[in-house]
Amino acid sequence: MKRSLSILMVMVMMLALVAGCTSGEATTAAPAATTAAATTVAGETTTATAEKVTIGVSVGTLAQERWQREIEMFKEYAANNNIELIVQSAEDDPQKQISQCENMITQGVDALIVQALDSAAAGAICEPAKAADIPVVSYDRLVMNGDLDYYITFDTVKVGRTEAQFVVDKAPKGNYIWMLGDPNDFNTTLLEQGQTEVLQPLIDSGDIEIILKQNAKNWDPNEALKIAENGLTLANNDIQGFVASNDGTAGGAIQALTAQGLAGKVAIAGQDADLAACQRIVEGTQTGTVYKPLKKLNLAAIQLAAALAQGKRGQDAMSAVDSSLGVWSQQNNGFKDVDAFQVDVVAVDKDNMVKEIIKDGFHKLEDVYKNVPKDQWPSVN
């Protein structure tokens, strides 16, 4: 009887032990599964909302309408995507830009977007950034001669071709003033390349003669005014075409043309679709502009910078950029071939102003046409 009782007790203990083990395994597995699920969910949430990161943005100046717009776009994206944004403006001082970037690197930003004021000088930013493992995205203007990570840009050669083609279409023969952009901006080189593709055959054939070719330092409209005045003096006002490199310098040139009663009689185009330029186009004093969809460029840059700030590299970072915004290529910056994302541009004149500028929400109809009698305003439908 005692033996039977002992056996029974042993069996009960064994069953309890087995049950206990089974229960322990289930308890351990459940938290593991829960943890895994939580990790997965957290990972998905992190991917969607992004862990908070800090991105530094350096621009050469905020004096121009364009850069003010783009900083506001960066800020809006940052506010909606858990990004702390540090913005610095160099106020047209290349050395100040380098110092500001070095300061942001010291602060420990997770990524840096640089709109280079002086393309060559800005290369100095790359070395300390690389040493701190902070990726640098060159924005609109190529950072030269440094170990740059990425370049986000427009098709700047096409911009130059489009500017020149506007003028040539209206004035295929005659005397020209050719005004380039800032000599320290690599975009000036690319613009000149595109402009030359259009102008050189006509120069070689003798159809057009370049009376004056000169750079407008810092893209300054006042510099452009002086260049235009000098060119008009050299030609005794006998000018048929004026190739400017952006809307600001075109505005300075048109001021000189207006003083001589030539505004609207001389073909001239720029780029950026500044409000003042769009107004001049519909009023008839500027031939055209090149619209560069800033929203696309801006979004591509901040998407890439955010991915880099989150630790993504290579193709993983590049894939974070919406492929509908442009195409990837490469651009040599004097140090290496840099992965470059290129956004297309649009030629805009009086005929397609509504379609390309108004309907895209870049400017309002009432702002562009405010100096035009209201009964002459086009329909936006």
50 confidence band (pLDDT: 50, 70, 90): low
Reduce the secondary structure of the chain to three states and give it as a string: CHHHHHHHHHHHHHHHHHHHHHHHHHHHHHHHHHHHHHHHHHHHHHHHHCCCEEEEEEECCCCCHHHHHHHHHHHHHHHHCCEEEEEEECCCCHHHHHHHHHHHHHHCCCEEEECCCCCCHHHHHHHHHHHCCCCEEEECCCCCCCCCCEEEEECHHHHHHHHHHHHHHHCCCEEEEEEECCCCCHHHHHHHHHHHHHHHHHHHHCCEEEEEEEECHHHCHHHHHHHHHHHHHHCCCCCCEEECCCHHHHHHHHHHHHHCCCCCCCEEECCCCCHHHHHHHHHCCCCEEEECCHHHHHHHHHHHHHHHHCCCCHHHHHCCCCHHHCEEEEEECCCCEEEEEEECCEEECCCCHHHHHHCCCCCCHHHHCCCCCHHHCCCCC
40 confidence band (pLDDT: 50, 70, 90): very low
Mark whether 109 and 142 lie in a shared domain: yes
125 confidence band (pLDDT: 50, 70, 90): very high
Mark whether 181 and 254 lie in a shared domain: yes
Mark whether 319 and 254 lie in a shared domain: no
Q: What is the CATH number of the domain that holds 170?
A: 3.40.50.2300
Residue 16 has pLDDT above 90, yes or no: no
Mark whether 200 and 135 lie in a shared domain: no
pTM: 0.76
Query: Given 277, 292, 307, which residue is the final one in a domain?
Result: 292
pLDDT in tens, 97-121: 999 999 999 999 999 999 999 999 9
Domain enclosing residue 245, as ranges:
156-292
Which pLDDT belongs to residue 51? 82
pLDDT in tens, 325-364: 999 999 999 999 999 999 999 999 999 999 999 999 999 9
Mark whether 202 and 230 lie in a shared domain: yes
pLDDT in tens, 162-218: 999 999 999 999 999 999 999 999 999 999 999 999 999 999 999 999 999 999 999
Q: Residue 87 falls within a domain, yes or no?
A: yes
The total number of structural domains in the chain stands at 2
Average of per-residue pLDDT values in the chain: 88
